[in-house]
Amino acid sequence: MTNTITPHVTRYRVTLDFTVDDSNCVPPSNWKWGELLQLKSGERVKDVYVENLGQIAKRSNKNGRGNRGKK
């Protein structure tokens, strides 16, 4: 009897906390995540959970470090 190697995929959970200017786009819950992630055959987005954390003020920053402060 020979062993057959079965192709498999690995499941990951990734959490993103990001801001987006939603004044001219659809909310992330409506984005086509599979296309954005460039998934191949057999790969898929199992679940998308989008939590709107509310609006925050944009801050002008001259050093390009966002809200991370000084280093």
Model pTM greater than 0.75?
no
Query: What digits encode the pLDDT tens for the residues 11-60?
Result: 888 888 888 888 888 888 888 888 888 988 888 888 888 888 888 887 77
What range defines the domain where residue 32 resides? Answer: 9-54
Domain presence at residue 4: no
Residue 14: what pLDDT? Answer: 86
Residue 38: what pLDDT? Answer: 92
Domain presence at residue 67: no
Cα-flanking dihedrals φ and ψ of residue 70, to 5°? -85, 150
- The count of domains in the chain is 1
Query: What digits encode the pLDDT tens for the residues 48-71?
Result: 888 888 888 877 766 655 555 555
